[in-house]
Structure 1
């Protein structure tokens, strides 16, 4: 039976008071009053048919129909609960599931819901397909010349590809909750192939081929969506994508990919909202193979509060910014060996406005590029430190960025750049410390920088060139006891 009241969660409830008063502390953010979610009562409880170790023959015993029938028949406001049952080790194995309005999928502790590795069950219906045509899911293809990166997912849906493991489409107030695990098995060989989902993705990278992998959770028009306490592991592609949604909360989510650190998991973003507003990601733990969070275009009023990031590419905006991003607050974030820390990335092929962005109370350790505010994105893990001279008319334009109480325990590069004199990047720095940073590690172009007391230890004046305007005393940040002491803890 699922435990609905655990002592370990009580501090979260108390800490929620910080969330409700963040507007006074850190500026614009999610406009809702967000509180810790509650787990609903179960309309039906399912026990696993599969027990012991996951086996090859289990692909013929999928739980898809049984779980989907329970979701379809559940009343709004209630949950379909997946139980461990009497087995010492029980699990569920499923193909794609579709959530219904107001229904929660509740996964008990010690229960795992695995995704099938059969590409046929994920294949997106293609109205133009002929009998005998090969399926696209689980395959790759050269990218057509007139095929922008940002349209890949849409085109895949039109022309065949992979459905997500869990879809929320035109359904409000859906929940995915519990202390159990959803495992996408990106490490497993695709049925009928000699490669895994991740191996296919990595092989496609050098030539920028299209490849078709399922996402773990994809939501569209899903107002009121809640992810709570659930563990999301080993997605073949992005873990959580949310589009066209007003009101999305991820609270206490534990996201880890790959769980086996000897493996390589390309393009496995953690949480990616796009064309949405009023979003909160709180008290969550993200350790993955790409951006920990990537805020896509058209997102406004988002709060990222009291989170821990591990392997990944950091707290990112972009690379698509055509429709803009605005009114973001990142507060009390710990980043431990991410490749970048605070990252805003775009270029003239996919850029647009990003403004009113507040980063406050960010702790970093072993982050090679603690700050990267860049119009130079080249589809790589990190941005280059100079303009790649792309041509395009979709201009990145960054304004109203606040960096306050930022601390990196280890040295790293800082890139703050505008595209040109007509599109200058505007940043305010206050109490920003990158320990051990050298002038050669600071890269500034077309910036309007304001430094407020107690300043920053970043050698801005030594590194500034004629395209940079610097206002403020520029004094070094006040030497202080490490404000991040005790915050770097193991992934949970």
Structure 2
């Protein structure tokens, strides 16, 4: 076999393995489950006038529905109306279903959002030391949970929280809109989520998660209002969403510095497809900066981004440890983006002073291909860590209309590029990196083919 034939075989098998990875677990997660028992929140005293606090009604409904967990589960229906509530927790084998004209509204009283322990992979609240406010819709150690509706709305009324954050008057980290922890078989679909106090959707330590057909909105200036943040979770599918937020659209995380390293719960097997949106102060698709438990096997495709600070952003720092590997981002359209592609190793925020600055992250096998961009200021900022491993950063078929006279800024990285305009930096012109641009299966096949060739040459 000739070297070119080997590379063609490797590329074909790599593409098929990625297709199998992105499709296999997504098709196994169902978005509809029949529930033999159904009740309406009004049966428990809820009033949909936008004024009456309904936290107790949601609590009582969940308490009642527990008895149906071993009988096929149950549905709690939220009819048309404005349903003011504080934080409440879900149960297993439950569908929370919203009418198209139903709006669940978060209370503006912080005491209606209980303070809970920090996540073990963070060691503290993400914004402040100590605990954090519980999300509006919360769940822990659950199985078979569906949050859905005919485009019903969940409104976090985050403006007060954003003001308290800007004024530094909070005692604890802000709450998410929806957070599920240590849970499996989770579906969140067919909803509009607006004005989350903090990240809108945060599945953490979860598996088998399907998030689809959502609209997620927050004003451009709202601080840290990410759309969807899968965190130390596996087998996650995010599909067919429109997201416009104050910071990032979708961020993959896995713990923070020494806490994430110790907890050692990676994010893996994550598929992101058909996303449209803008992130005025953030990125369309982001990985990190909290990635110390490791992030691997991520596929993002068919993404349309506009009016954003970054298109694709991977960020980490000394002290993070962990790894980001086997990432493939493909078929991306960008318009009016400051920096199209960023891979950086100097994101310097740490949870405390205990982190080990010698714990260097590993970033490798990152493939970004089939990207078109108009009205782009900078093509890419690709800056690794001196003495660290930022390798196999691979760009293919990337065409960007760039206004800057210095479109690329690169340091301490290795990689390969093909059909890239404007022409990429010198660090991305290493042909020896070409065969390492996709997955571990490709690396193994490379070794297999090389071994076979050596056997043929020997015998």
Calculate the TM-score normalised by the size of structure 2: 0.78
After TM superposition, the structure 1 = structure 2 runs for residues 426-437 of structure 1, keeping only pairs within 5 Å, are: 426-436=392-402
CA contact (8 A) 1:271 1:293 kept: yes
Mark the CA change 1:351 to 1:365 in structure 2 (over 3 Å): closer, same or farther.
farther
CA contact (8 A) 1:112 1:181 kept: yes
Number of the residue aligned with 1:268: 225
Q: How many Å separate the matches in 2 of 1:458 and 1:28?
A: 32
Q: How many Å separate the matches in 2 of 1:469 and 1:123?
A: 49
Which of 319, 323, 328 is equivalent to 1:349?
A: 319
Mark the CA change 1:369 to 1:432 in structure 2 (over 3 Å): closer, same or farther.
same
Which of 280, 287, 305 is equivalent to 2:273?
A: 305
Number of the residue aligned with 1:470: 429
Q: Does residue 43 in structure 1 map to residue 38 in structure 2?
A: yes
Instruction: Tell me the SS of whatever aligns to 2:429.
Output: strand
CA contact (8 A) 2:26 2:235 kept: no
Number of the residue aligned with 1:185: 157
User: Any unmatched runs of 5+ in structure 2?
Assistant: 1-14, 255-265, 433-459
Q: How many Å separate the matches in 1 of 2:20 and 2:313?
A: 20
Number of the residue aligned with 1:240: 201
Q: Deviations over 1:123-155 (max 9, x none)?
A: 3269xxxxxxxxxxxxxxxxxxxxx99433289
Instruction: Tell me the SS of whatever aligns to 2:246.
Output: coil
Task: State the shift of 1:441 in Å.
Answer: 2.3
Mark the CA change 1:428 to 1:155 in structure 2 (over 3 Å): closer, same or farther.
closer
Instruction: Tell me the SS of whatever aligns to 1:199.
Output: helix
CA contact (8 A) 1:101 1:172 kept: yes
Number of the residue aligned with 2:99: 108
Number of the residue aligned with 1:295: 252
Number of the residue aligned with 1:165: 136
Task: State the shift of 1:357 in Å.
Answer: 0.2
Q: How many Å separate the matches in 1 of 2:304 and 2:321?
A: 28
Q: How many Å separate the matches in 1 of 2:237 and 2:267?
A: 12
Structure richer in strand, relative to its length: 2
Q: Does residue 66 in structure 1 map to residue 50 in structure 2?
A: no
Task: State the shift of 1:394 in Å.
Answer: 2.4
Number of the residue aligned with 1:366: 336
After TM superposition, the structure 1 = structure 2 runs for residues 306-455 of structure 1, keeping only pairs within 5 Å, are: 306-312=274-280, 313-314=282-283, 315-378=285-348, 392-413=357-378, 414-436=380-402, 438-452=404-418, 455=419
User: Any unmatched runs of 5+ in structure 1?
Assistant: 1-21, 85-89, 127-147, 188-195, 381-389, 474-492
Q: Deviations over 1:173-224 (max 9, x none)?
A: 111101101111112xxxxxxxx2101112339xxx8643222111111101
Q: How many residue pairs are counted as aligned between the two chains?
A: 387
Number of the residue aligned with 1:203: 167
Which of 259, 279, 284 is equivalent to 2:236?
A: 279
Task: State the shift of 1:278 in Å.
Answer: 0.3
Q: How many Å separate the matches in 1 of 2:390 and 2:55?
A: 52
CA contact (8 A) 1:439 1:459 kept: no
After TM superposition, the structure 1 = structure 2 runs for residues 74-93 of structure 1, keeping only pairs within 5 Å, are: 74=65, 75-76=68-69, 77-84=73-80, 90-93=81-84
Instruction: Tell me the SS of whatever aligns to 2:320.
Output: coil
